Amino acid sequence: MPPLRSQIQPGMTVDLVQKQDQATGRLTRGVVAQLLTRSPSHPHGIKVRLTSGQVGRVQAVITPE
């Protein structure tokens, strides 16, 4: 299950699926710049914009080791 909105903050590193990659499930890793989904959860993941400008739905939050 994708993380909730409350678990994602700007500056965090995440793996997300971009719209064009939904069929293949290819993940893109990046740093969150802005949260775009207003609801607390979404079945396909919270939509965010990365610092690179890419937009997609978060599948996992990457925790620093």
pLDDT on residue 4: 98
pLDDT at residue 47, as a whole number: 98
Say if CB 1 and CB 7 are below 8 A apart. no
Give the separation between CA 56 and CA 51, rounded to whole angstroms: 12
Q: Return the pLDDT at 1.
A: 87
CATH architecture, range 5-62: Roll (2.30)
Residue 36, phi-psi category: left (phi > 0), alpha (psi -120 to 50), beta (remainder): alpha
Phi, psi for residue 64 in degrees, rounded to 5: -65, 140
CA–CA separation, 19 and 39 (whole Å): 19
State residue 64's pLDDT score. 81
Q: Where are the beta strands (DSSP E) in 1-65?
A: 13-18, 27-35, 47-50, 55-62
pLDDT in tens, the chain (65 residues): 899 999 999 999 999 999 999 999 999 999 999 999 999 999 999 999 999 999 999 999 999 87
Q: What's residue 19's pLDDT?
A: 97
